[in-house]
Amino acid sequence: MRYRLTLRIVAALIPTVTVAAAPRPVVLEATTMADWRAAKLDGTGCYWSPRRGGPIHFVAAGNTAMTKVRGRIVILKPRRDAKPLFPFTHDAWRADVLTIRVVDTARIRAMGYETVTTDAVLIVTRRNVTIRLRGSMICGS
């Protein structure tokens, strides 16, 4: 009995520390043509895929871009420091707590009549957590 009481007293004296869970990196999900149309992104612009010919995770045309996070479409607008990317869109985007910067290597991997495919990295930041995603950027009309 005395032994159990001692353990309870000692346990009560040990401070407990609560650690908040580390923020998770954002995961961009595959989008569909219906998503692009809902965001009014038909026409000339660029899209990014984690691999050539793979699912499209980011689309940009003019002053609008979109991606999908946790099943929801996220519409992005150009950041103030955005520079031109392809003739018709920008390299830096923002929506609430999500920012996306496109780093295009300009290494041409494929060229079509109206499109060009290059290697590109997306730098995605959400709530101070940043990830870099390598893939392909396809631009054209």
**Which of 116, 139, 109, 112 is closest to 44 using CA atoms?**
139
Q: 92, 77 in Cβ contact below 8 A?
A: no
Q: What's the pLDDT at 59?
A: 93
Q: What's the pLDDT at 5?
A: 45
Q: What's the pLDDT at 104?
A: 83
Q: What is the pTM of this model?
A: 0.77
Distances (CA, A) of 103 to 49, 54, 90, 92, 107: 13, 19, 11, 9, 11
**Which of 6, 55, 39 is closest to 47 using CA atoms?**
55
N-term to C-term CA, the chain: 81
Q: What's the pLDDT at 94?
A: 94
Q: What's the pLDDT at 18?
A: 47
Handedness of CA 42, 70, 86, 92 (dihedral sign): positive
Among left, alpha and beta (phi > 0; psi -120 to 50; other), residue 22 is beta
Break the chain into its structural domains and give their ranges.
21-140
- Dihedral, CA of residue 87, residue 92, residue 94 and residue 98, to nearest 10: 130
Q: What's the pLDDT at 23?
A: 55
Provide Rg for the chain, Cα atoms. Answer: 22
Q: What's the pLDDT at 24?
A: 60
Q: Which residues contact 65 (CB under 8 A, 6 or more apart)?
A: 41, 58, 59, 75, 76, 77, 89, 90, 93, 100
Query: Which residues of the chain fall below pLDDT 50?
Result: 5-7, 10-11, 17-21
Predicted confidence (pLDDT) per residue in 47-85, tens digit = 999 988 889 999 998 899 999 998 999 999 999 998 887
